[in-house]
Amino acid sequence: MSITDTSTSPTAADSGAPAGAVFRADNRYRGTAETSAERVDTILRALLGAVHQVVSDHEITYPEFQAAKSWLMEVGEGDEWPLLLDVFVEHAVEEVASRSRQGTKGSIEGPYYLPGSRRLPAHCELPRRADEKGTPLSFTGQVRDVNDTPLPGAEVDIWHADADGHYSGFAPHLPEGNLRGLVVTDDEGRFSIRTIRPAPYRIPADGPTGRMIAAAGRPPWRPAHLHVMVRAEGHRQLTTQLYFEGGAWVDDDVARATKPELFLRPVADGEGGLVQRYDFVLERA
């Protein structure tokens, strides 16, 4: 399933900023969290208390304070808040959410999800360019519930970067829908997806998020991974990321989102490609 290429390569303005536009347009985030005033007050006091403690413990100077204000303004002006929060904060929120969950381990969603991917049959190939680079990867598995019952008609919403670490919808040279698809499992809850192994990617360096990472002397890299959302009627949605064991940056992920349970160990298929099976287990809603 091939689609046509376009032009040029991405910068922070091409990948960090669109995350803000996508977030605002996503209907999942319309409305409020329905949090009580008492809880808002408690959380606000705790957050400000933590900030005040950092100021005191590290004796923050006025020049540092003013530089921080300037940087926060740049984050807003560059529309990078979703990128910043997904890189530095989401993993902690996800850990809290996972405390009460059964089944397959979750991970962060990240800033590069796009709703409305092409609906595909259980055994398929993700949309890609005719000359798509990368090692072929056959990703197969089954969706079941916690009682080991197969879930036919489950949705495996999958997306990932290309062999250069770029995401369609966030890099202007990639065609719409490249390496994205919503795969519907067969009568036994199984799926088989032909795609390519993605590359690690670098957080956009020329925006305020990337500049802060550089200022802290931290590597701005995320390890190669597959993003997956798995849904089935009557079951809790799973959002996770699957990483490649031994891959670059697995042990030094800037987003701190890797988990041993989510490591893939693909094997050679004898024809220059890789094969990986990974099953997903969902709990009742």
Q: What was the pLDDT predicted at 82?
A: 86
Q: Which fold has domain 11-285?
A: Protocatechuate 3,4-Dioxygenase, subunit A (2.60.130)
How much is the pTM? 0.85
Q: Residues 284, 145: contact at Cβ < 8 Å?
A: yes
Tokens of 276: 């990986």
Tokens for 203, please give them.
Answer: 């957080």
Question: Is the CA virtual torsion 117, 122, 128, 130 positive or negative?
Answer: negative
Work out the average pLDDT over 155-178.
Answer: 95
Give the start-to-end residue ranges of the domains of the chain: 11-285
Give the per-residue SS3 of the chain.
CEECCCCCCCCHHHHCCHHHHHHHHCHHHCCCCCCCHHHHHHHHHHHHHHHHHHHHHCCCCHHHHHHHHHHHHHHHHCCCHHHHHHHHCHHHHHHHHHCCCCCCCCCCCCCCCCCCCCEECCEEECCEECCCCCCEEEEEEEEEECCCCECCCCEEEEEECCCCCCCCCCCCCCCCCCCEEEEECCCCCEEEEEEECCCCEECCCCCHHHHHHHHCCCCCEECCEEEEEEECCCECCEEEEEEECCCCCHHHCCCCCCCHHHEECCEECCCCCEEEECCEEECEC
Pick from 185-194, 200-209, 257-266, 267-276: least confident: 200-209
pLDDT at 216 over 80: yes
Question: Does residue 284 register a pLDDT over 60?
Answer: yes
Q: What is the pLDDT of residue 34?
A: 83
Mean pLDDT of 36-41: 94
Per-residue model confidence (pLDDT) at position 135: 98
Quote the CA–CA distance of 264 and 149 in Å, as a whole number.
23
Look at residue 12 and tell me whether its pLDDT is greater than 50: no
Helix-helix angle 208-215:81-88, to 10 degrees: 40
Average pLDDT over residues 172-192: 97
Asked if residue 98 has pLDDT above 90, the reply is: no
pLDDT at residue 222, rounded to an integer? 95
pLDDT bin (cut points 50, 70, 90) of residue 6 is: very low
CA atoms within 13 A on the CB side of 76: 5
Structure tokens at 67: 């530089």
pLDDT class of 205 with cuts at 50, 70, 90: confident
Which tops the pLDDT comparison, 20 or 73?
Answer: 73
On average, the pLDDT of the chain sits at 90
The pLDDT of 13-28, averaged and rounded, is: 63
Residue 17: per-residue pLDDT: 54
